[in-house]
Structure 1
Amino acid sequence: MLDRAWIAAHIPHQGDMCLLDAVHDWSAEAITCAATSHTDPANPLRTGGRLGAANGIEYAAQAMAIHGALLAGSEGQPRQGYLTSVRGVTLHAARLDNLPGPLTVRAERLSGDANNILYQFAVSHADRCLLEGRAAVVIDASVLSKEQP
């Protein structure tokens, strides 16, 4: 299991914005992480004293970033990725901050190439799905802008 210190050393999200605590499982196709930051009153995503369920998309995006870092391995630095769209998102809860205990964050790579990846993601709590959807990630967007005529 990889802990929060390892995660913070391998993704651009730092300090309180590093939302995930551990990687429980991963393969070339998928990753499963755990998070408890949703219960922290100082969570930077909170607004109006609450953490809405749509913020789970950021948790999933960080799992995708960790997945990219793991796939890059120790041989290379992971390239910067950008969440470019989310589709088919279904919220099965109104908020995250009122749930005790860890969240489970899962992302599965559905397709992709060197610069574009499509993930399916889900955030759950105690076997209850809180939100799910798909996300498109562009890796190294500067390369894409250079390809434009």
Structure 2
Amino acid sequence: MMDRAAIAARIPHQGSMCLLDGVERWDNEQIVCFSRSHLLAGNPLRAAGRLGIANAIEYAAQAMALHGALLAGDAAAARAGYLASVRELRWHCQQLDTLDAALSIHVQRLSGNAITAMYQFELAAAGSVLASGRLSVVLDAAALAPRLTSS
């Protein structure tokens, strides 16, 4: 199991912006993280005192970043990635901060290479799915720049 400090050492999100509290399990294809940061009054994603369900995307993106860092086998902080697309989103509630149970964040890598990655995600609490979808991230925007300008 991995704790919050070990997670923060591997992803670019620091301080209160590191939303993940721990890792339940991971392998080459997926990772399952947990968090109770949705209940913190100081959660940096809160707007007007509430934490809307759209923030599930950030929880999933951080789990993706951690998975990528673990796959790379690097204990150094990961370089920043850029969310490129969000697809097939399904919301099953309106707010995250009204749920007393820990969040379970499950992401599964569908494809990827050194430049991009695509993951499917599911955010749940107390056995109920709260949000799901598919996210793509650009890991190395500089590597894509020559491709975009030569087309």
Post-superposition offset of 1:112: 2.0
Partners of 1:36 and 1:113 in 2: CA distance: 31
- 1:55 maps to a residue whose letter is N
- 1:27 maps to a residue whose letter is D
Partners of 1:4 and 1:140 in 2: CA distance: 25
Normalised TM-score (structure 1): 0.95
Written as runs of structure 1 = structure 2, the 5 A alignment for 1:84-95 is: 84-95=84-95
- 2:107 maps to a residue whose letter is A
Match of 2:116 in 1: 116
Post-superposition offset of 1:113: 2.4
Partners of 1:65 and 1:138 in 2: CA distance: 11
Cα deviation digits, residues 17-48 of structure 1 (max 9, x gap): 00000011101100000000000011010011
Partners of 1:57 and 1:81 in 2: CA distance: 14
- In the alignment, is residue 47 of structure 1 matched against residue 24 of structure 2? no
Match of 1:125 in 2: 125
Match of 2:64 in 1: 64
Kept in 1, the 8 Å contact 2:10–2:74? The answer is: no
Cα deviation digits, residues 70-92 of structure 1 (max 9, x gap): 00104877443221110010100
Partners of 1:80 and 1:146 in 2: CA distance: 19
Match of 1:16 in 2: 16
Partners of 1:80 and 1:18 in 2: CA distance: 13
- 1:92 maps to a residue whose letter is H
Q: Secondary structure at the match of 1:143?
A: helix
Gaps of at least 5 residues in structure 2 are: none
Kept in 2, the 8 Å contact 1:39–1:97? The answer is: yes
Post-superposition offset of 1:99: 0.7
Cα deviation digits, residues 82-134 of structure 1 (max 9, x gap): 21110010100100001113100010011122212110001000110000000
Match of 1:101 in 2: 101
Report the RMSD for the aligned CA atoms in angstroms: 1.4
Paired residues, number: 149
Partners of 1:44 and 1:3 in 2: CA distance: 20
Structure 1: 4+ residue segments shifted above 4 A:
75-79
- 1:36 maps to a residue whose letter is R
Q: Identity across aligned pairs (percent)?
A: 53
Partners of 1:126 and 1:104 in 2: CA distance: 8
Deviates more, 1:74-83 or 1:44-53: 74-83
Q: Secondary structure at the match of 2:48?
A: coil
